Amino acid sequence: MSSWLKDESIAHEDKEEVLLLIKNKNITELRDRFYRDLEFGTGGMRGVMGMGANRMNRYVLRRAVQGVANYILKCGEEAKKQGVAIAYDSRNNSRFFGHEAASVLAANGIHSYIYPTLQPTPCLSFAIRKLGCISGFCITASHNPPEYNGIKVYWDDGAQIIPPQDAEILKEVFSIQAFSDTKYMPFQEAQQKGLAHHISEDILTSYFETLKGLSLAPHVPKNVSIVYTPLHGTGKIPTLRALNSWGFENVFVVPEQAEPNGNFPTVKKPNPEESEALALAIKYATERKADYVFATDPDSDRLAIVSHEPVLAKGIMKHQAVGDYVILNGNQTGALLVNSILSNRKKTGKLNSNHKIVKTIVTSDLLEKICSEFGIEIFNTLTGFKWIAGLIRSWEEKNNGFEYLFGTEESFGFMPNNNVRDKDAIAAICQAAEMIAITKEKKQTLCENLFEIFKKHGAWQEDLISIDLYGEEGSLRINRMMKSMRESPMTEWAGTKVTKIYDYLDPKTQKEQNIAKSNVLKMLLEDGSKISMRPSGTEPKLKFYISVCSKNSNVEESYMNSINKINNLRKEIYIFVNKVK
């Protein structure tokens, strides 16, 4: 804290925020702001905005960008010329932070290409690849509460950084001892000197053109009524543009959530994974008798789908229902999309053995069953689309002829387009709308379609338990729980024996599954159920992922068995969490 107050590069008014806390003897807040530097992880950083070393502010951002700049400079003169693409979302200070990043790059002689208006994450990934940039920054904190912001760092393939770039960039960031060691050129000066450029509309036009190539049934009737919410984020303009270009025009946008607003006034968190964030959209859907609800997070990389299911919502899917609408979880949506893509490609003769599907290790194994049905190979990676993109890059380097078709993870993330190497809710919305139209033509709903899949491959159900643990003590408790499970692992869960434990910190597991080192534990149970646990890489959370399957001749009975298994496992997990203080 003393170094912060003594640093001449920090403006007096920014020191005043800290001095006021000292004056008021707010020791808890001061400790949280300075007990560590805001963590710059393997994909970037994210934190509460404010002054202090453990907060997201202009000085912390400049140091991070300077570290990336130092690494780019070591890559040679050509890398400097390739430059860095920058996008920002609707969060408070996102535009300001985007310009600050460009200012640091310019002071280091590195060109930047920044969108003149807010844009979703997929448009950043697309721009990196289209412009041939060496790197990219997306200013966002995704679906975190409004007090957060952050920066995601990308490399030349349009994906977030992975080894070896991540470790080398981290080394450069950590080598910067003082905020005064960062270089800076005002953004307007950078523009005048030809170092900061705006990304042209042509790039966006090209992005939307590539989306049209994903359509597998362009002539299917588009008589689907949709309510859409961007949750105050970047999604309204690109989503309407994309859906309209695919022929879907019956789209009602929730007016209270249509425009960008970094305060996210109508929700606690702009997270489409949480039903509270979808409540207003479901209300409008009920009033308008809409078929479906779509929702995206502030940077439009996550997609939630809600289906009008008046029978199932009151029956065996009531645990996922609000009124007559069922909120599909990420695994269910992923399974439906993969099944739709493979079946329609097979039907039209566009499926071949080189096509590959990719999912993460915590995503439902139902996808493996679906892919097996169609004779298509599926790969598993660590959590995060940077690993899915990294796998694609390895295929390209090997020139093995593999063709990436689709990638998914349970946290409402989908990557349908090889031209974008990160989650892309805009592309996924288009694929989902077409899937819905095809399903509707068969006089089915999505949930009815899901149960058809269950009849073939068993009734699968997944659940996620997120334990929020804030601050220094929260971080320590997360570590204690991971340590406890490693040192004294559960031998059974809810009366079902654990048959195998995979520890992804163990080199043996890494080698066996051909997966990089990660702080993840995966436990396989005797009945085929699976429990995984890992600390979140972007939020102060410990996450437990549960996946179960039941199968007999009665699919509804099987599904209820799966629900009961989930409920029993949830109880056991909370007992474990409460035991480890």
Q: Which residues are catalytic?
A: 142
**261-265-267 Cα angle (round to 5):** 115
**Mutual angle of helices 555-579 and 471-487, in 10-degree steps:** 110
Supply 388's token pair: 């899915």
In sequence order, the β-bridge partners of residue 198 are 114
Task: Give the Cα separation of 578 and 177 in Å (integer).
Answer: 39
Tokens 């099944």 belong to: 339
Task: Give the Cα separation of 426 and 54 in Å (integer).
Answer: 33
User: Which pairing describes strands 355-360 and 377-381: parallel, antiparallel, or unpaired?
Assistant: parallel
Task: Give the Cα separation of 403 and 517 in Å (integer).
Answer: 26
Task: Give the Cα separation of 187 and 191 in Å (integer).
Answer: 6
Count the Cβ atoms, other than its own, within 10 Å of residue 200.
14
- Residues with Cβ < 8 Å from 532, sequence gap 6 or more? 361, 362, 520, 521, 522, 523, 544, 545
The amino acid occupying position 314 is K
Contact 431, 437 (CB under 8 A): no
Q: Is 545 exposed, middle or buried (0-12, 13-18, 19+ CB in 10 A)?
A: buried
In sequence order, the β-bridge partners of residue 545 are 464, 532
Task: Give the Cα separation of 234 and 239 in Å (integer).
Answer: 9
Provide the 8-state DSSP code for 37. P
Supply 108's token pair: 């280091």
Count the Cβ atoms, other than its own, within 10 Å of residue 558.
21
Strand locations in 41-83, DSSP E? 44-48
Closest C-alpha among 63, 10, 82, 125 to residue 393 = 125
In sequence order, the β-bridge partners of residue 48 are 148
Closest C-alpha among 397, 416, 398 to residue 406 = 416
Closest C-alpha among 340, 518, 334, 356 to residue 410 = 334
In sequence order, the β-bridge partners of residue 541 are 468
Supply 297's token pair: 């997070």
- Residues with Cβ < 8 Å from 200, sequence gap 6 or more? none
**Mutual angle of helices 121-131 and 201-212, in 10-degree steps:** 100
